[in-house]
Structure 1
Amino acid sequence: MEAALKNQIGGLNLNRSDWRLVKFGDVAIQQKKTVDRENTDLTRYVKGEHMYSEDLHLREWGELQDEYLGPAFIRKFEEGDILYGSRRTYLRKVAIAPFDGITSNTTFVVKANEELIDRDLLPFIMLSEGFSQHSIRNSKGSVNPYVNWKDLASYEFLLPPKDWHKEIIEIFAEADRYRELTKVVCGKAKSVLRTILEEKVTNLNEKGFSRACLRDLIQIKHGFPFKSEYWSDDDGQLPIVVTIGNYDYEGGFRFFDTKIKCYSGDYPEDYKLNPGDLLLAMTCQTPGGEILGIPGIIEDKDRLYLHNQRMGKVEVINKNIVTLEYLYLLFLTDDFRRFLFSSASGTKVLHTSPSKISEYEFFLPPLAYQQSVVNEYKQVEKVVRGALSLENNQGHMFKSLVNQVF
């Protein structure tokens, strides 16, 4: 599949002599139908957070009875309409509605002017780099920038003759199908990981294992408050300060798509990290506290990493009883997460502490069992990482394809 997509990209040699310059407002129509939520048959709503960056597929939504919605949620959309996040447009949120529903007035509801453009081509144009950069440049405000429809409508681009549209759509759709297939594989592998955690780490009450408390097994060491004036961008040589922003929501660290902070000042030697060191996020500023308590293991052997404050380094007291790799899996379980949130302090910023974490109790299996579960988890995790890498590559190819045309 990937080879076929590369051939399609490499084979594009478009003659644009008969393409014509149009404005986005010529081919796109903003919909402003409103809904009385107290008197409607519509049951679903879409928030900005339900839409993912550069993903035309709407994968989440809410039901009207789920929660209170503010007065801004009055905009009606219909199946096939395009939803566009007008706030923080650098997030590039464009989604095709799979049903009729309600959204807020800060989400533009867009229909294609089908006299000029095929309805299925318009969302791909809205994902193009030219459209995105125009939207970003014309956004107003600094904290929560937004774009007005009239500014969006002024975007100019070359539109191919209409008899080209179906062929171009099919190429784009095929590239999107490749990405979707990879997402399915990745999703199934992640589901297996969750099953391993649930059945082989959490639900051990019938296996005859004794219970243990973390305070008898581990110590947690806080990180060092590295001075911000010595932080710098990555130059490939300086040590990397591992921050809360480097955590992956599903466990582990990300240093490939997040901003890397390096350190040029002096620091105590005790705060150097070694491959295999396990860190826990001790605080979280995101609205749902998703990062709080998430574990990560240092894997890179080629760079020096530093232990920053607000992260706890987990050290095992007796390695003949429990391993760090097994504790990593334990910290990923829903049971541990529920315990952590029940004892966390703070409202906007959630905090935990070594003393709170140390009170967690669980069934402790023997080392042989621990290692077998760790090995099984690692094998499935390799599949997930491979699928994520493939998905990332296909995403780049998809963007390249769209930008070569528009």
Structure 2
Amino acid sequence: MENLPALNLKNLDKSEWKSYRFDQIVKNISERVDPNNTDLEVYVGLEHIDSESIHLKRSGTPDDVDGQKLRFYPGDVIFGRRRAYQRKAAVATTHGFCSAHALVLRANPEIIDSQLFPFFMHSDAFMHRAVDISVGSLSPTINWGTLKSQQFLIPNKEQQKSIFKILWALDKVIEQEEELLRSIYISRKTYINSVLYKYETGIESALPNGFSVKKLEDVAEISGGSTPSRTNPEFWGGDIPWLTPTDVTKNEDIHLSTTKERITKDGLKSISNRIYPPGSILYCSRATIGYAIINDVAMATNQGFTNFICKSSINNYFLYFLLQHITPELTRLAGGSTFLEIPKSSVKSFKVVIPEEFLQKKIAKKIVEYENTIKTIKLKICKSKALQDSLINHIF
């Protein structure tokens, strides 16, 4: 951040800024393309555009679609006019065509520099207006006829250069951080695949020294939870944290010490439930299969979990990462018509590959280091994006 260009936002002079209709700021490119009769190789649907990003990182091919589409050129901005609240507006870097549920917009260089225009498109000033003028309830969509007459305040050309320099410099920082994050993810995956084994028949003879095959019930006490009656107020609002899958899916850490709801001792007794001590692995085995936490405080869970209290022969962090690694295999054991659920009996008898204790700790420590690094980089990216959003919205 230290090398970002200087910009005095506190004293940003807007006295010479002018208001323009949107059709003065941009040109709406309406050139049509037939996917079945084109030499263009790149197709961009709304699903290929990331929310709140000016970068287009994915695309499809003409074989993916039928019907008339819109032509775009390098430097054009593809803006998702359907469900504008998703804030999809990305800069094209190639020739191609896109969904007719988008607008292809080209900055008018007499009014706004093409390097500033993508950031303007992601300002609250523009996006909130876009949402306000959308029509339709199930899939609100913007009509060009309405959008083109909207008025927006635009900086003078002299100020635009200094503004987009700092925004692109900050964008470069974010891109570098995101690239670092991607490389860490790849490195972590490579390491995990090299040290965590999935059980296959006959694997025993191929395992390194110190590794053995065990059933999950051999290394942990496995049980589940349940839900006290909602009609009895004496069962709720107590001192015992009570975990639901929602608590876990919204958690971005391995650990969890708080839950949305709490039950009483009577509530616990009413369902023959138990309290899981700190350090247990609470694993979602119903509907949202694979989400898991290691609890920092004693807590009970609902019936959506299969819970593990580790025996002395297994490191709980190692088992946590192993369960994540074998979730696809466990999911294949799931059944149910309304939602998938893995039977506890199937989990108990499931065979896994376990190394000696010193290796468990070594492996778990390394993966935790990866997790902490990922968490740190994500925080940096979050702060950088927050700063970028703040700058864009302060300017526009």
**One fold, TM greater than 0.5?**
yes
SS of residue matched to 2:152: strand
What corresponds to 2:351 in structure 1? 361
Determine which of 316, 323, 329 is the counterpart of 2:321: 329
Report deviation, 1:391.
0.8
Report deviation, 1:60.
2.4
SS of residue matched to 2:55: coil
Question: Pairwise mapping of residues 294-305 of structure 1 onto structure 2 (< 5 A)?
Answer: 294-299=291-296
What corresponds to 1:207 in structure 2? 208
Conserved 8 A contact 1:211-1:361: yes
Determine which of 301, 308, 311 is the counterpart of 1:314: 308
SS of residue matched to 1:76: strand
For the residues of structure 2 that align with 1:293 and 1:372, how far apart are their CA atoms? 23
Match for 1:338: what amino acid? P
For the residues of structure 2 that align with 1:271 and 1:23, how far apart are their CA atoms? 65
For the residues of structure 1 that align with 2:142 and 2:259, how far apart are their CA atoms? 31
Q: Which moved more, 1:28-37 or 1:166-175?
A: 28-37
For the residues of structure 2 that align with 1:177 and 1:340, how far apart are their CA atoms? 41
Match for 2:284: what amino acid? A
Conserved 8 A contact 2:224-2:302: no
Report deviation, 1:365.
0.7
Identity of aligned residues (%): 25
Conserved 8 A contact 2:89-2:118: yes
For the residues of structure 2 that align with 1:226 and 1:172, how far apart are their CA atoms? 55
Conserved 8 A contact 1:56-1:94: yes
What corresponds to 2:97 in structure 1? 102
Alignment deviations for residues 116-171 of structure 1 (CA, whole Å, 9 cap, x no partner): 22112111011111212212223334444333333433442211122322221111
Change (3 A) 1:350 1:39: farther
Change (3 A) 1:108 1:390: same
For the residues of structure 2 that align with 1:10 and 1:311, how far apart are their CA atoms? 53
What corresponds to 2:134 in structure 1? 139
Change (3 A) 1:120 1:201: same
Q: Please, what is the CA RMSD of the aligned residues? A: 3.5
Unaligned runs of 5+ in 2: 234-238
For the residues of structure 1 that align with 2:333 and 2:68, how far apart are their CA atoms? 34
Alignment deviations for residues 1-30 of structure 1 (CA, whole Å, 9 cap, x no partner): 2x555x946654211111101122321233
1:292 aligns with 2:289: yes
Question: Pairwise mapping of residues 192-203 of structure 1 onto structure 2 (< 5 A)?
Answer: 192-202=187-197
Determine which of 116, 124, 129 is the counterpart of 2:124: 129
For the residues of structure 1 that align with 2:348 and 2:240, how far apart are their CA atoms? 34
What corresponds to 1:288 in structure 2? none
Match for 2:135: what amino acid? K
What corresponds to 1:233 in structure 2? none
Conserved 8 A contact 2:242-2:262: no
The number of equivalent residue pairs is 378
1:87 aligns with 2:82: yes
What corresponds to 1:383 in structure 2? 373
Change (3 A) 1:327 1:345: same
Unaligned runs of 5+ in 1: 231-236, 285-290
1:162 aligns with 2:162: no
SS of residue matched to 1:59: coil
Determine which of 176, 186, 189 is the counterpart of 1:191: 186
SS of residue matched to 1:29: strand
Report deviation, 1:348.
9.1
For the residues of structure 1 that align with 2:341 and 2:152, how far apart are their CA atoms? 49
Conserved 8 A contact 1:224-1:271: no
For the residues of structure 1 that align with 2:16 and 2:226, how far apart are their CA atoms? 62
Match for 1:373: what amino acid? I
Match for 2:172: what amino acid? R
Change (3 A) 1:375 1:77: same
What corresponds to 1:268 in structure 2? 268
Alignment deviations for residues 263-300 of structure 1 (CA, whole Å, 9 cap, x no partner): 3776437476664332333344xxxxxx532333335x
1:247 aligns with 2:249: yes
Match for 2:53: what amino acid? D
SS of residue matched to 1:168: helix
For the residues of structure 2 that align with 1:10 and 1:251, how far apart are their CA atoms? 38
Q: Which moved more, 1:80-89 or 1:138-147?
A: 138-147
SS of residue matched to 2:27: strand
Conserved 8 A contact 2:241-2:263: no
Report deviation, 1:240.
7.5
For the residues of structure 1 that align with 2:350 and 2:333, how far apart are their CA atoms? 10
For the residues of structure 2 that align with 1:82 and 1:11, how far apart are their CA atoms? 26
Determine which of 144, 151, 158 is the counterpart of 1:149: 144
Match for 1:207: what amino acid? P
SS of residue matched to 2:112: coil
Match for 1:126: what amino acid? M
